[in-house]
Structures are given as structure tokens and as C-alpha cells.
């Protein structure tokens, strides 16, 4: 299936771009994140298991178990704090 990926803040900086479209065989957000990490740098650096990264599916915060669908939008971004 085809998904639209969006990257924000430090994740965008690490990726060197703000968005892309990719084909994926993943069925969940966690599966997609793992698939991207396996591509190597810069994905592994920005989305690695030890990185604090939040995810949204179609502009709604979601956990790793959220199911993907063809044409969905997935966003990755660091946790945000106020001040």
C-alpha cells in the first residue's frame, strides 16, 4: 500500500525533508516505523527504538498498534513540551 509520510521538527531535520510517499507492506504504525528503521540512515537515526518519537495517523495521535490503510497520512515528530 502507499502511505504519505510527514516529518516535523528535529525528525524533519534528521531526514533532510518534510514529506515523502512510500510503498509499505506494514500493517501497523509500529510495523511501518520498524520497516523505515531497517532502511538505514537517516531513518534509523531519526526513528530508532531509543528515540522519543510521537506518531499520528491521519492527523490523530496514535500508538504503534494503529492499523494503516492505503493512502493514509503518517506523521512523525518529537514530543512537544510547553513553557
Question: What is the pTM for the complete model shown?
Answer: 0.92
The parent domain of residue 52 ranges over 2-77
Q: Is residue 14 part of a domain?
A: yes
Asked whether 77 and 54 are in contact (CB, 8 A), the reply is yes
Q: Is residue 7 part of a domain?
A: yes
The pLDDT assigned to 81 comes to 59
63: domain CATH number is 3.10.20.30
Q: Print pLDDT tens along the chain (83 aa).
A: 999 999 999 999 999 999 999 999 999 999 999 999 999 999 999 999 888 999 999 999 999 999 999 999 999 999 875 55
Q: Is residue 63 part of a domain?
A: yes
Domain count, the chain: 1
Q: 66-79, pLDDT tens digit by residue?
A: 999 999 999 999 98
Q: Is residue 82 part of a domain?
A: no
Does a cis peptide bond (omega within 30 degrees of 0) precede residue 42? yes
Q: Is 69 left (phi over 0), alpha (psi -120 to 50) or beta?
A: beta
Q: Is residue 83 part of a domain?
A: no
Amino acid at each position: 500500500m502507499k502511505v504519505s509520510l510527514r516529518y516535523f521538527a528535529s525528525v524533519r531535520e534528521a531526514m533532510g525533508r518534510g514529506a515523502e510517499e512510500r510503498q509499505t507492506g506494514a500493517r501497523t504504525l509500529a510495523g511501518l516505523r520498524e520497516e523505515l528503521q531497517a532502511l538505514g540512515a537517516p531513518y534509523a537515526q531519526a526513528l530508532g527504538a531509543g528515540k522519543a518519537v510521537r506518531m499520528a495517523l491521519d492527523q490523530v495521535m496514535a500508538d504503534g498498534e494503529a492499523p494503516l490503510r492505503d493512502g493514509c497520512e503518517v506523521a512523525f515528530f518529537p514530543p512537544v513540551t510547553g513553557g
